[in-house]
């Protein structure tokens, strides 16, 4: 169950291990360290915010090739947000990481005809030539919205994350 909210159980524990405090902190610090446009104090503030608002799940046995982050957010999925993300995605990622990004698919949908969501599926290629999938979801469940980011070698679809 998500630690910062008791409203919804994602049921990830069967397939993923929830990152403990130190693993979560390590991941968030590593992520923020790539944001060279932020000062050190801004990075620390960002990490503190993420520590309180985001849950991190790693593939079983702490497999770093499979990672899911879930954050409760205020925005709701909409065509306008999807268009904004698609318009600015490559530009923003290029500022932060030295990667090649290919958008494979994106759109709006309803999970099990009751949870509206938007999705952006990307293939990320590192300078070394290795690649992985990066899937972004924004979903509304029981009047709460969540941002779900998935990093994996094979790709993990939303219906494998939200089991209910």
Q: How many CB atoms lie within 10 A of CB 122?
A: 20
Q: Is residue 61 part of a domain?
A: yes
Give how many domains the chain has, as a whole number.
Answer: 1
pLDDT tens sequence across 6-64: 455 666 766 788 888 888 888 888 877 767 777 889 888 988 888 888 888 888 766 66
Q: Is residue 50 part of a domain?
A: yes
pLDDT tens sequence across 127-152: 888 898 999 999 998 888 999 999 88
Q: Is residue 23 part of a domain?
A: yes
Q: Is residue 123 part of a domain?
A: yes
At 164, the pLDDT band (50, 70, 90 cuts) reads low
Domain ranges, residue 97? 12-161
In the predicted structure, residue 90 carries a pLDDT above the cut 90: no
Q: What is the pTM of this model?
A: 0.83
What is the model's pLDDT at position 4? 42
What is the model's pLDDT at position 67? 87
Q: Buried (b) or exposed (e) across 87-114, using 16+ Cβ within 10 A?
A: eebeeebeeeeeeeeeeeebeeeebeee
In the predicted structure, residue 94 carries a pLDDT above the cut 90: no
CATH code at 50?
Answer: 3.40.1000
């Amino acid at each position: 169950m998500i630690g910062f909210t008791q409203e919804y159980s994602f049921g990830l524990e069967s397939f993923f291990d929830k990152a403990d405090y130190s693993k979560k902190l390590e991941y968030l610090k590593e992520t923020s360290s790539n944001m060279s446009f932020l000062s050190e104090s801004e990075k620390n503030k960002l990490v503190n915010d993420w520590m309180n608002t985001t849950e991190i799940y790693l593939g079983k046995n702490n497999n770093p090739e499979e990672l899911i982050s879930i954050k409760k957010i205020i925005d709701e999925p909409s065509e306008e947000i999807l268009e904004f993300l698609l318009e600015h995605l490559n530009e923003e990622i290029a500022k932060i990481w030295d990667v090649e990004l290919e958008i494979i698919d994106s759109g709006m949908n309803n999970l099990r005809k009751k949870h509206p969501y938007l999705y952006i599926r990307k293939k990320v290629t590192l300078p070394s030539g290795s690649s992985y999938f990066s899937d972004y979801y924004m979903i509304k469940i029981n009047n709460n919205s969540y941002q779900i980011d998935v990093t994996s070698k094979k790709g993990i679809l939303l219906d494998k994350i939200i089991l209910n």
